[in-house]
Amino acid sequence: MRIIAGTRKGHRIDAPKGVSTRPTGDRVREAAFNLLGPVDDAAALDLFAGSGALGLEALSRGARRCVFVESDRRACRAIEANLAKLRLTGALVLCQDALLALRQERAAGRTYELVLCDPPYDAWATLEPRLGEPLGAVLADGGLLLVETDSRTEPELPLDLITSRRYGSARLTLFTR
């Protein structure tokens, strides 16, 4: 996998070994950022970060900071290694459950202009009813939430739907507040 655009365009990024992480492929990531548009100076939150590919792409494209949330320790180490290799600043890696992190961010009053949410495809049905309200609480007014699911799943959250598009086996759904 490579960074698609921005200051680190073309640089390779690594994913943790094993089958527990499904990194967002280059083509889907490129499509995601085409939907999002410019992310200059945005505060980003990358939930279920895995390899960190989405958040790393956001930083490369000009996001001022990114909080990566991932519960798998190997994946957290991969994100930290990618950040160090790419010499990207403005990042924080939280190795914890995404719902816990959302509660903590909400309690602290932090909001984000860009929220990237890419949970395991098979977990979306159980996560969806638990994510809607906390996602809305951390999404800044006018901010964008990008949700990646399998192509057959159309996320429904209590936010304003902008678009939902299929890209191979993935679906990208964009919401705003």
The answer to whether position 167 is within a domain reads: yes
**What is the full per-residue pLDDT of the chain (177 aa) written as tens digits?**
888 898 898 899 888 765 455 667 778 889 999 999 999 999 999 999 998 999 999 999 999 999 999 999 999 999 999 999 999 989 999 999 999 999 999 999 999 999 999 999 999 999 999 999 999 999 999 999 999 999 999 999 999 999 999 998 999 999 998
The answer to whether position 42 is within a domain reads: yes
The answer to whether position 8 is within a domain reads: no
* Strand pairing category for 65-69 and 43-47: parallel
Helix axes 53-60, 26-36, angle to 10 degrees: 50
- Residue 18 has a pLDDT of 57
The answer to whether position 19 is within a domain reads: no
Taking CA atoms, 51 is separated from 18, 62, 146, in Å, by 12, 19, 17
The answer to whether position 155 is within a domain reads: yes
- Residue 19 has a pLDDT of 46
For the entire predicted model, the pTM comes to: 0.94
- Residue 10 has a pLDDT of 83
* Strand pairing category for 65-69 and 139-150: unpaired
The answer to whether position 135 is within a domain reads: yes
Which residue segment(s) compose the domain that 75 sits in? 26-176
The answer to whether position 5 is within a domain reads: no
The number of domains in the chain is 1
Helix axes 98-107, 124-138, angle to 10 degrees: 20
Q: What is the CATH number of the domain that holds 42?
A: 3.40.50.150
